[in-house]
Amino acid sequence: MGDSTVMNPVNVAALVDLLHPEKHDSDSEDDMPSNTMAKMTPADIIPKKTEIEEKKSAAGPKKASKDIWDEEEVPEGSEFESVYDPRPQPDFDIVYKQAVTSEDMFLGMGNKTPSSASCEDMVVKIKLPDSKMADVQLDVKAKFLDCRTPKYKLGLHLPHPVDHKNGKAQWESSSETLVVTLHMMREYDFMNF
């Protein structure tokens, strides 16, 4: 083999393609080298506005208040959380309950299934050993349950919104358990019926 096979025009063109691929036309911009620093402007340095800031600016001038946060920015139930509270959290269970009629059981006429998607009520069972019913303080919000005794503290974010004005609490003295029954307020769709 001589030098003529190594230096033929086809091999030289292939070598040029390997060394300088950007000189050839390409259909996609991803193949082209990009210089992101050249595209950067002073506006890219400032942080972008969040949705809450955009709503504030669209709502108009801010009222003269010394509040740090608006009510929309504070999650429900955070007023019950304290930085330091030595009381332990009691054991609790969340059980779902549904109203089942004879049509649902025997005839299968209803749309109810055994899943929790068909449940109407949420039952929270809080075990409070060595406590009395008179010591229990209970506060229920739409998405938060706060239960306190001298020995225990429970701040529970509920998995579904509930009708907090029409709930029922029962004290079971034999097992020292507080049973709170709350009606769930969720929209019915193809999953929740």
Residues 6+ apart with CB under 8 A from 22: 32, 33
Amino acid symbol at 140: V
Q: How confident is the model at residue 93 (pLDDT cuts 50, 70, 90)?
A: very high
Q: Which of 31-45, 63-77, 174-188 has the lowest mean pLDDT?
A: 31-45
Find the domain containing 102 and state its range. 78-183
User: In this predicted model, what pLDDT tens digit does every residue of 133-169 receive, in sequence order?
Assistant: 999 999 999 889 999 999 999 988 888 889 988 899 9
- Residue 65 in any domain: the answer is no
Specify if 131 maps to a domain.
Answer: yes
pLDDT reported for residue 50: 66
Percent of the residues in the chain that have a pLDDT greater than 70, as a whole number: 59
Within a domain: residue 133?
yes
Domain count, the chain: 1
Q: What is the CATH number of the domain that holds 117?
A: 2.60.40.790
Q: Which amino acid is at 127?
A: K
Residue 28 lies in a domain: no
CA distance 95 to 179: 10
pTM over 0.85: no
DSSP notation for 28-44: -GGGS---HHHH--GGG
10-14, 100-104, 126-130: the lowest-pLDDT one: 100-104
Q: Is residue 153 part of a domain?
A: yes
Q: What pLDDT shows up at residue 182?
A: 93
| pLDDT tens digits, one per residue of 14-69 | 877 777 766 545 555 555 555 555 566 766 666 666 666 666 666 655 556 777 77
pLDDT of residue 41: 72
The reply to whether 138 falls in a domain is: yes
Write down the pLDDT at residue 180. Answer: 95
Task: Write the DSSP assignment of 78-117 as a string of letters.
Answer: GGG--S---PPPPPEEEEEE----HIIIII--S---SSGG
Any domain includes 96: yes
Sheet containing strand 144-148, edge to edge, reads: 137-140, 144-148, 153-157
Spatial CB neighbours of 11, under 8 Å, sequence gap ≥ 6? 5
Q: Kindly state whether residue 16 falls inside one of the protein's structural domains.
A: no
For residue 96, the one-letter residue type is Y
